[in-house]
Amino acid sequence: MFLQLLDENGTRHASPEFDPLVADLTPQHLLGLYRDMVVVRRIDAEATALQRQGELALWPPLLGQEAAQIGSGRALRDDDFVFSSYREHAVAYTRGVALVDLLRVWRGVTASGWDPHEVGMATPQVIIGAQTLHATGYAMGIKNDGADSVAVTYFGDGAMSEGDVSEAMVFAASFQAPVVFFCQNNQWAISEPVTLQSRVDLADRATGFGIPSLRVDGNDVLAVTAATRAALARARAGEGPTFIEAVTYRMGPHTTADDPTRYRDSAELTEWQGRDPISRLAEYLRAAGVLDHDVDTRIAGEADAVAAELRAGCLALADPDALTIFDNVYAEPHHVLERQRAEYAHYLEGFAE
Amino acid sequence: MSLREFRLPDLGEGLTESDIVAWRISEGDAVELNQIIAEVETAKALVELPSPYTGVVAALHARAGETVSVGDPLVTFAVTPEDAPAVVTEPEDALEPNLVGYGARPEHSGRPVRRARRAPPDVPTHRDQPAPIMAPGERRERPRSTPPVRHLARQLGVDLEQLVGTGGEGLITRLDVEAAAERTRDSLADDAFTDDGPVTRIPIRGVRKHTAAAMVASAFTAPHVTVFHTIDVTRAFELATWVTESGGTKVSFLAIASRAVCLALSGHPELNSRWQQSTQEIVQYGYVNLGIAAATERGLVVPNIKDAGSLDLVGLAAALAELTAEARAGKAAPDRLTGGTFTITNIGVFGVEAGTPILNPGEAGILALGAAQRRPWEFEDGIALRQVMTLSLSFDHRVVDGEQGSRFLAELGNLLQVADEAVLR
Amino acid sequence: MSDLAPGTTTLGKALNRALFRALDDDPKVMVLGEDVGVLGGVYRITDGLQARFGANRVVDTPLAESAIIGTAIGLAFRGYRPVCEIQFDGFVYPAFDQIVSQLARMHARTNGAVTLPITIRIPVGGGIGSAEHHSDSPETLFVHTPGIRVVTAATPQDAHTLLRQAIACDDPVIFFEPKRRYHVKGEVDEEAAGLPMGAARIARPGDQVTLVTFGSLVPTALDAATAAADERISIEVIDLRSLSPIDFATIEASVRRTGHLVVAHEAPQTAGLGAEIAATITERCFTYLEAAPVRVTGHDIVYPPARLERHHVPDLDRILFGVDRVLGRVPARAELA
């Protein structure tokens, strides 16, 4: 299957099964999704520029994956909990993370940009696939509590090869945990194409574990919204886990330290530019008379303002005090560490200037 | 308008440099924030650099094709205050301003130096002089002992290098250290003295401390014998004057004496050696590092002229002049003060005739030159007023026999009495 | 890039050449890892190898560290000589079980019948201003595991020679590459026999303090020795090269002359390699030691964010402070409250 409600030209396709799930989305709602995608793309571009200017250590761009993240992120409830990889900046945005908090970790001034419990989203995971187990465990806790919130885990096509992800699906299926496995298949894991990770559609691997699976056009924000809502509804109704494969494309490099020209064809990039998530929605909204020049200008202005705020916030991020490295290693006092802290403080005081 | 410098950041996880492939701007151009200003190539990728400021390009600091290190200036921008966001400068950034890019920062530029510490080290290094850098073959193992005994030795002022341990395989024991301290104590018996009147207390430190330790080590280890020889040095003084006037270098009697010593030593290697207890060897030097005792403001120092035996008279005189000047100025380099093989001490400058000098540790002979006095002396079968000097030679009787010492001194005396220019040049 | 004198190359390129020579010399050698083939590795260490030797011998693997090692074990059973790459130190833990439970034990548990001549290359250490999990120093975990050898290089020459030796060795070898130093340049003679794989190297002779370190901290230690010379302190720098086994004979001979030992490493202090060296040298050189050995190490903390890592990774000043301590020039640690 391949769920698509809005194709690359902005033409709406009917789906009897999934149309009801997005029937409530008025043109204004859609304009809101459009605005979200424009803004997060701009955040992504600004962060990339900041890295090139030496203000961030690293940035993993989400360029091209806006629909997959905004569509799914906006479908969540406040009391749902997200366990993501390091690329889900747009999901964090939908969870209400402040702009500068998106950058703190990448600037290298802190281990976590926000408090997971305040945001309902774990600190992004760098170890590929590890977060899927955490999400499954969290979902097991929800079930024990008798609540109807959902744990959602985001990961990529490369993660599907890690043992942790298979183990997570084993547990999720066995315990019928209320977890949504949201896989963004952006076709590439650094230089490795998805065909190296799997000989079958990624969605089909989940069914092998007994987890119902949806394969959607990840660049179609409507389809993503519909699929996510369907999965969430199942989980809330006690029907267990769902796997969503959002087929999309990593338009940029793996991170700002990567050079994709070494391993992929520019023709492929051009092809996927034709499937851009934002432009297809723009087409649709223009045809619907909702997106005119004035609205476009307004939204562009909002994006500029966000970028400026992001930049100013980034540049103002100061280095923390040296002795903070000893904080939070343990929740309870630890005498070895306390002594090391005292020694290091003593050492630092000994410098002449 | 203010100037802001943009330096090359690390563009990928630990890179240290990039090549400028092409500039997209020129000096004088107006640029917008994030406008692409250059293409650079790293070890990993071709990267476009977006401008960090809106402003005017004041200067480009590299040419296309050049390699730039992370942290090097790339572009200077002239920006208006509104366009120049506050850059948070940290105390650490004072070392490398504006470098916010990450990666393998160069740890230092130029010679590595350590950051100044507030308080100098509490305890001075346990050498007052730096350790001599020894050649690989020469590097000795340290004397063996245990930490508590080493601590005791430090407290008692005992130098383990001077002891032979009586423990297993030469281990220096607590008893060894206490016995050594005992010997020192007995000979000094400080506690036996009371002061009956006002006294001046001078702390024992620095050069005096080191010299005293050396003296003690030498005097109480090597059996000293001193032999004396009084000679007519008139010819030697005349030679010194003659050579000085005929050449450019000032040649003193000391230079003549030094030359004579070197010549005499070549025939008497036992006077140019040391007793090495630890390996049960007498080490005869194949070269002469001639020490000249010098009284300075800080105390007695004995800098030496390296390989004095290979220098001719004029060369020796020049080396002496340099050495004396250095010693007076307190500027003798560390290796000047170590490695001597034979010493001359000129006590004559103080007006005394003879002495019983103490050997410099590591040497087997030391020659004291007395004052030259005009005295009636036998000269060409008659009596004339001649310049007469007493030579005092102390030697280590473990290494040098009475006969050897006496013969050496006699030969030395003869060289000086005859003062043959052909021989001494 | 820049003009280099002939025979001079970077540490990264020296490794690349070592892999080239190994693949060229022995048809059973294979290279496996994530992004090693088409991309040539995230640090370009395997650049050009797949083009030259083919995708059967230089293999881009799916994203699964445990499987990289586990399948390498199977390949070795079949007679191949795999050289695995784990992309970053912080990513080795999924493979830890295959390394410790399987790779390290196989020779012993088959009574010597099965040999697994596998080399695992791992970029290691910090100082690159990177995100979490990219700057760890897990060497002690592997040194503590009997059955595997652990080596590391600090110079391009050693990188080249040691990697070829590791690949040729019939025991499993973990080869830690100091990623901070991939760009350091030096002379490499590919034909030089070099020291034996287990030997330490005197990087700089000295006679007052023995400073033992390895990998990324060797250049820092050499800088410290240069700066110390200005204070008339003579430091002998020993580059361990082999972490399992450790060349204690070289360290002992040095400490018997200097009487002072400082060990430096990035990894946290507790149960780090410094502890092993301090204990062993204290046992063997007790009667030569002037002072207790001093360790200059990372703190017992999770590796800090990039902007704070300089407070964790030992630098020149911290090493020289350790030298001051061992020489008795500052109060002993016990005096701190």
Please name the chains neighbouring A, where neighbouring means 3+ C-beta pairs under 8 angstroms: B, C
Region of residue B67 (phi > 0: left; psi between -120 and 50: alpha; otherwise: beta): beta
Cβ atoms of B51 and B34 closer than 8 Å: yes
Asked if B131 lies within 8 A of C208 by C-beta distance, the reply is: yes
On the question of pLDDT at B283 being above 70, the answer is yes
| pLDDT tens digit sequence for A70-101 | 999 999 999 999 999 999 999 999 999 999 99
Neighbouring-strand partners of residue C244: C150
User: What is the reported pTM?
Assistant: 0.73
- Nearest by CB to residue C44, choosing from B44, B103, B142, is B44
Q: What pLDDT does C335 receive?
A: 44
Asked if C129 lies within 8 A of B147 by C-beta distance, the reply is: no
- What is the CB neighbour count within 10 angstroms for residue B424? 24
Cβ atoms of B396 and B224 closer than 8 Å: yes
State chain A's maximal CA–CA distance in angstroms: 75
Find residues 188-217 of chain C whose CB sits inside 8 Å of chain B. Answer: 205, 207-208
Q: What pLDDT does B212 receive?
A: 81
Cis peptide bond upstream of A61, omega within 30: no
Parallel/antiparallel/unpaired status of strands C149-152 and C173-178: parallel
Parallel/antiparallel/unpaired status of strands C173-178 and C119-124: parallel
Give, in order, the Cα–Cα distances in Å from C233 to each of B270, C9, C320.
35, 32, 10
Region of residue A198 (phi > 0: left; psi between -120 and 50: alpha; otherwise: beta): beta
Q: How far apart are the first and last CA of chain C?
A: 53
- Nearest by CB to residue A159, choosing from C40, C63, C269, is C63
Q: What angle do CA A213, A218, A224 make, to 5 degrees?
A: 65
Instruction: State mean pLDDT over B154-160.
Output: 89
Asked if C256 lies within 8 A of B10 by C-beta distance, the reply is: no
Are C7-188 and C201-332 equal in CATH topology? Answer: yes
Instruction: State mean pLDDT over A39-54.
Output: 96
CATH number for the region A19-320 comes to: 3.40.50.970
pLDDT band at B8 (very low <50, low <70, confident <90, very high): confident
Tokens standing for C216? 């990324």
Is B422's Cβ below 8 Å from some Cβ in C? no
Region of residue B337 (phi > 0: left; psi between -120 and 50: alpha; otherwise: beta): alpha
CATH number for the region C201-332 comes to: 3.40.50.920
- Nearest by CB to residue B85, choosing from A54, A315, A349, is A315
Q: What pLDDT does B249 receive?
A: 86
**CATH (one of 3.40.50.450, 3.40.50.970, 3.40.630.30, 3.40.50.300) for C7-188:** 3.40.50.970
Is A320's Cβ below 8 Å from some Cβ in C? yes
Instruction: State mean pLDDT over B407-416.
Output: 96
Region of residue C291 (phi > 0: left; psi between -120 and 50: alpha; otherwise: beta): beta
Q: How far apart are CA C66 and CA A29, in angstroms?
A: 45
Specify the 3-state DSSP secondary structure of A269: helix
* Residue spans per domain, chain C: 7-188, 201-332
Q: What pLDDT does B83 receive?
A: 62
Cα torsion for C43, C44, C46, C52, to the nearest 10°? 170
pLDDT means over runs of 10, chain C (337 residues):
70 98 98 97 96 97 97 96 97 98 96 97 94 96 98 98 98 97 95 95 97 98 96 95 98 96 98 98 94 97 96 97 92 52
On the question of pLDDT at B86 being above 60, the answer is no
Asked if C299 lies within 8 A of A57 by C-beta distance, the reply is: no
State chain C's maximal CA–CA distance in angstroms: 62
Which residues, 6+ apart, have CB-to-CB distance to B400 below 8 Å?
B270, B271, B364, B365, B408
Cβ atoms of A351 and C311 closer than 8 Å: no
B82 vs B2, more confident? B2
What amino acid positions of B are annotated as catalytic residues?
397
Q: What angle do CA C101, C105, C110 make, to 5 degrees?
A: 130
Tell me which residue of B74, B91, B92 sits closest to B25, measured CA to CA.
B74
Nearest CA of chain C to the CA of A263: how many Å?
A: 6
Give, in order, the Cα–Cα distances in Å from B238 to each of A310, B230, B253, B260, B374.
92, 18, 9, 15, 14
Q: How far apart are CA C228 and CA C210, in angstroms?
A: 13
| pLDDT tens digit sequence for B373-406 | 999 999 999 999 999 999 999 999 999 999 999 9
The question of whether C134 is a catalytic residue gets the answer yes
Residues of B in contact with A55 (CB under 8 A): 52, 100
Instruction: State mean pLDDT over A149-169.
Output: 98
Q: How far apart are CA C127 and CA A228, in angstroms?
A: 41
Q: How far apart are CA C92 and CA C90, in angstroms?
A: 6
Nearest CA of chain C to the CA of B113: how many Å?
A: 5
pLDDT band at B213 (very low <50, low <70, confident <90, very high): confident
pLDDT band at A159 (very low <50, low <70, confident <90, very high): very high
Q: What whole-number percentage of chain B has pLDDT above 90?
A: 44
C318 vs B199, more confident? C318
Instruction: State mean pLDDT over A104-117.
Output: 96
Nearest CA of chain A to the CA of C241: how many Å?
A: 28
Q: What whole-number percentage of chain A has pLDDT above 70?
A: 100
Q: What pLDDT does B98 receive?
A: 27
Strands annotated E in B72-117: 73-79
The question of whether A254 is a catalytic residue gets the answer yes
Q: What pLDDT does B147 receive?
A: 85
Specify the 3-state DSSP secondary structure of A51: helix
Strands annotated E in chain C: 8-10, 29-33, 58-60, 81-85, 119-124, 149-152, 173-178, 185-187, 201-204, 209-213, 235-239, 242-244, 261-268, 294-298
Q: What pLDDT does B53 receive?
A: 87
Parallel/antiparallel/unpaired status of strands B30-31 and B46-50: unpaired
Q: What pLDDT does C155 receive?
A: 98
Q: What pLDDT does B374 receive?
A: 95
| pLDDT tens digit sequence for C262-294 | 999 999 999 999 999 999 999 999 999 999 999
Tokens standing for B145? 């002992």
What length is written for chain B?
A: 425
Q: What pLDDT does B133 receive?
A: 46
Q: At CB < 8 A and 24+ separation, what contacts does A332-337 make?
A: A336/C270, A336/C300, A337/C299, A337/C300, A337/C301
Of A85-99, B21-35, B118-132, C75-89, the one with minimum mean pLDDT is B118-132
Q: How far apart are CA C14 and CA C16, in angstroms?
A: 5
Nearest CA of chain B to the CA of C202: how many Å?
A: 12
On the question of pLDDT at B281 being above 50, the answer is yes
On the question of pLDDT at B46 being above 90, the answer is no
Is B52's Cβ below 8 Å from some Cβ in A? yes
Instruction: Write the single-letter amino acid at A123.
Output: T
Tokens standing for B186? 């007995």
Mean pLDDT of chain B: 84
Q: What pLDDT does B4 receive?
A: 85
Residues of A in contact with B119 (CB under 8 A): 350
Q: What pLDDT does B279 receive?
A: 80
Query: How far out from the chain centre does Cα A65 lie?
Result: 9
